Amino acid sequence: GMEPHIILLVFIPAFVFESAFKSDYHTFRREFWQILLLAGPGVAISTLLSAVVILYPLDYSSSFSWAEALMLGAVLSATDPIAVVALLKEVGASKRLNTLIEGESLLNDGTAMVVFLVMLEIAKGESLGVVEIIVKFVRL
């Protein structure tokens, strides 16, 4: 099989680059704070709500720890806008809306990956400080 680190180091940066390259820079820059608001707190809320649903209504609390449920929540929170963007272009949606969705997805994936990696380290029993989490986010 394929080594997971190859996917992390080769394929994901290529997909992120392609998405960033085709985005409209000026619209992205103008809408940056809205995109950041959707990608940051949006991922955090979605991850937390997913974990709560996994642990309580679905009753997997005996199978998953909080860190593991948050890892799964982070994976479920990462979005891929390909179908949505294609549909928006078909119906003639504005460039601003397309850029908001593509930009949110671009930052959303990175945020979800950082949440996943942080929760993975916590699940392994390692402790992380706020500075280490920020460094992880900036590195990705």
The whole-number pLDDT of residue 10 equals: 78
Q: Has this prediction a pTM greater than 0.75?
A: yes
- C-alpha neighbours within 13 Å on the C-beta side of residue 67: 12
The whole-number pLDDT of residue 51 equals: 96
Query: What phi and psi values does residue 2 have, to the nearest 5 degrees?
Result: -85, 140
Per the structure, the complete domain to which residue 118 belongs is given by 4-139
How far is residue 3's CA from residue 128's CA, in Å, rounded to a whole number?
26
Average pLDDT of each block of 10 consecutive residues along the chain (140 residues)?
75 74 86 91 94 94 93 89 80 88 85 90 88 80
The whole-number pLDDT of residue 84 equals: 80
Count of domains forming the chain? 1
Chain-centre distance for alpha carbon 116: 9
Q: What digits encode the pLDDT tens for the residues 29-45?
A: 999 999 999 888 989 99
How far is residue 33's CA from residue 98's CA, in Å, rounded to a whole number?
15
CA dist 101 to 27, 35, 81, Å? 12, 8, 7
The whole-number pLDDT of residue 49 equals: 97
The whole-number pLDDT of residue 126 equals: 87
